[in-house]
Amino acid sequence: MFLCVLAYYLQWHLTRRLTPLLDEQRGKLAAGSMEPKHRRWTLTNIIEILKTQRRETVSLCGTTFDQITEPSADQARLLKLLQTPPETTENPPGPAM
C-alpha cells in the first residue's frame, strides 16, 4: 500500500512540474494538429528520455573520475522543468471535509 501511495505522490509532483510541457501537447491534441497515438510526452517516454543520461566511473592511467554525459535538448528541457518549483495558487484549496 505504501509503495502505491508513494508512486502516486511522485507521479503527481512530476505531472505538476511538467504542466507547461504537457499543456503544450494537450493544445496540439485539442487543435487536431496531433493524433493521440503520436503523443511524445507521456510519463513512460519522459522516464525513458531521462534514463539515457549516465554517470560512469572512468579509470585511466591510475586516475579515477566520474564522467557525466551531456544532456540532450529534451533532457535539458525536462530537467529544467523538474528543478523549477510549480507556481502556487493565490488561494490554495483547504482540507477536504
Lowest mean pLDDT among 16-25, 47-56, 79-88: 79-88
The answer for 61, left when phi > 0, alpha when psi is -120 to 50, beta otherwise, is left
Q: Does pTM surpass 0.75?
A: no
Give the residue among 26, 23, 82, 15 at the shortest CA–CA distance from 50.
82
CA distances from residue 83 to 59, 63, 68, 86, 89 in whole angstroms, order as listed: 31, 32, 18, 9, 18
Res 92: pLDDT: 52
Res 31: pLDDT: 92
For the stretch 39-68, pLDDT in tens is 889 889 999 999 998 889 999 899 999 988
Strands 55-60 and 63-68: antiparallel
Give the residue among 21, 24, 27 at the shortest CA–CA distance from 78.
21
| More confident: 80 or 96 | 80
